Amino acid sequence: MENVKEKFDVVVVGSGNAGLCAALSARAAGASVLLVEKAPQEWRGGNSFFTGGILRFAFRGLDDIKSLIPDLSEEELHSIEVEPYTEDQFYNDMLRITEYLTDADLALTLIRESFPTMQWLRDQGVRWTLAFGRQAFRVREKFRFWGGLVVEAVGAGAGLVGVLFERAVKDGVEIRYGSKATRLLMASDGSIAGIEIRGAQGFYEVDTSAIVLASGGFEANAEWRCRYLGKDWELAKVRGTPYNTGDGIKMALDIGAQPFGHWSSCHAVAWDLNAPPHGDRKVGELFQKHSYPLGIVVNIKGERFLDEGADFRNYTYAEYGRRILTQPQRVAFQIFDSKVVGLLREEYRIREVTRAEASTIEELAKKLEINVEGLVRTIREFNAGVQPGEFNPAILDGKRTKGVSPPKTNWALPIDAPPFVGFAVTTGITFTFGGLRITPRGEVLDMESRLIPGLYGAGELVGGLFYYNYPGASGLMAGAVFGRLSGAEAARYATLLPKGDPA
């Protein structure tokens, strides 16, 4: 009997935020949709599951926020101060943070579609809440939200993808777990004709004229990390899923897609020294240690090597994680005194934390195995360099050091109030910046910058948005924006093709 191949209008590869948005939007546009996910069901949701569920988007003021969170109480409304975050501000952040290298067309699409996509996600059933405790500080009885980050998904990343999976099932998206996309099949005219998948029973092919690749970056591929990011990167810990090994990027490159973006760079953060080699779904993102602007960061010699107060945390953390890898033994220590301990983020209070406390700096250094003389000298010189001024963690307060190298440009307080606490961290890679070149509609381009008809890309595997650094919470937003756009575009392309034509 002839082996009849299955046929779907659109096949989406990867069940993270980008893939789910693509699948939902393709389905809403009338396409039959197959979503294949390499991981088993208990690992579904990719890196998106691990996130704090915060999204960066442009908005005009409190009314926009209220439209996303209609159940905000009067009491909550009176207890907050929210500065607008305009499209211009978002664009300036993208330019500044990426050293003016971000692709303007992609960045502008991300920015202009960000608020409509937040509303679209709300309409898919995602519930939003104010991001208290993450990007807000209490200033004179009011919580002040700063840096454009105001809203997170209820239940964080797990809540976000949980809702999208529920909706996908309800809308009739067929989801297959333990199903790895292994090869893109092409028609002789260069368009997409199908996809090869490896499932529990082995390899099989599915006919389709449109594929959305949303299978993440290559951060969990130690060999590619070393190949593209460089020396020692195979030794970094992976913050999220172990399944993002660059498969979608490779499959597309194999058929002539164009590599784009900053292949030798990535997003990485300070991550607990004793965290497992890849993400733990119970602990999630809480191995991160993001409160360094409140203290100092030293290496094992006890020496500072970065400006902890250069900018708001969400503009420096992605770059500073990378710097730890260049320090001796790839380790760093965040040191705080009792004046600021109460301000540390929740991730400092988890059970799985590498922490020491002591009543003197010498004792703290011994407990953390930092060079004692080095740390004592560093803190003595640092304290002597702290300038007067009002400490205010909600603004760039300009309270800085003088005569200390590297300087601390904001939030510089002397470390002089015992007990002292220290946290040991290493580099945890989040995602890679290099990937495929797409148009603002999500269409993948080939080496000659022509369309590969029927091939789309979204999420982490897209190159060209982030260079050197990344404005916090743009990853989920980019995945949602380009997932939604590429899903709709793939559906339009697939369903408008004359029937019977392979592509």
Ligand X SMILES: Cc1cc2nc3c(=O)[nH]c(=O)nc-3n(C[C@H](O)[C@H](O)[C@H](O)COP(=O)(O)OP(=O)(O)OC[C@H]3O[C@@H](n4cnc5c(N)ncnc54)[C@H](O)[C@@H]3O)c2cc1C
Q: From 30-38, 87-95, 183-191, 434-442, give the range in contact with ligand X by CB under 6 A.
A: 30-38
Residue type, 89: Q
Q: Which residues, numbered 471-490, are part of the site for ligand X (CB under 6 A)?
A: 473-477, 479
Give the one residue of 10, 11, 12, 13 binding ligand X; rule: CB under 6 A: 13
Helix (H) or strand (E) segment spanning residue 206: strand 202-207
417: tokens are 């109030």
Helix (H) or strand (E) segment spanning residue 488: helix 474-496
Give the one residue of 16, 147, 293, 464 binding ligand X; rule: CB under 6 A: 16
Smallest separation, CB 328 to ligand X (Å): 26
Smallest separation, CB 475 to ligand X (Å): 2
Q: Does 180 bind ligand X (CB under 6 A)?
A: yes
Q: From 11-19, 137-145, 301-309, 373-381, give the range in contact with ligand X by CB under 6 A.
A: 11-19
207 beta partners: 7, 194
Q: Does 440 bind ligand X (CB under 6 A)?
A: no
Q: What is the size of the binding site for ligand X (CB under 6 A)?
A: 42
Smallest separation, CB 434 to ligand X (Å): 14
Q: CB–CB of 428/285 below 8 Å?
A: no
Q: Does 295 bind ligand X (CB under 6 A)?
A: no
Q: From 37-45, 97-105, 296-304, 352-360, give the range in contact with ligand X by CB under 6 A.
A: 37-45
89: left (phi over 0), alpha (psi -120 to 50) or beta: alpha
Q: Does 162 bind ligand X (CB under 6 A)?
A: no
Q: Which residues, numbered 416-435, are part of the site for ligand X (CB under 6 A)?
A: 430-431
Smallest separation, CB 286 to ligand X (Å): 9
Alpha helix stretches (DSSP H) within 40-133: 46-50, 62-68, 74-78, 87-97, 104-112, 114-124
Q: Does 453 bind ligand X (CB under 6 A)?
A: no
Q: In sequence order, what are the residues at sequence separation of 6 or more whose Cβ sits closer than 8 angstroms to the Cβ of residue 417?
A: 337, 338, 339
CA 472 to chain centre: 7
Q: Which lies closer to ligand X via its Cβ, residue 267 or residue 304?
A: 267
Q: Which lies closer to ligand X via its Cβ, residue 394 or residue 476?
A: 476
374/156 Cα distance (integer angstroms):
40
What's the length of the chain?
A: 503
Give the one residue of 15, 25, 32, 432 binding ligand X; rule: CB under 6 A: 15
Measured CA to CA in angstroms, residue 490 lies from 33, 189, 268, 339, 374 at distances of 10, 18, 32, 54, 58
Q: In sequence order, what are the residues at sequence separation of 6 or more whose Cβ sits closer than 8 angstroms to the Cβ of residue 150?
A: 59, 65, 82, 85, 130, 131, 135
Q: Classify each residue of 478-492 as buried b or exposed e, where b means 16 or more C-beta atoms within 10 Å of its C-beta.
A: bbbbbbbbbbbbbbb
Binding track over 329-368 against ligand X, x by CB under 6 A: ----------------------------------------
Smallest separation, CB 182 to ligand X (Å): 7
Q: Does 270 bind ligand X (CB under 6 A)?
A: no
Contacting residues toward ligand X, per CB under 6 A? 13-19, 36-39, 46-48, 50-55, 180-181, 214-216, 239-241, 243-244, 247, 285, 430-431, 459-460, 473-477, 479
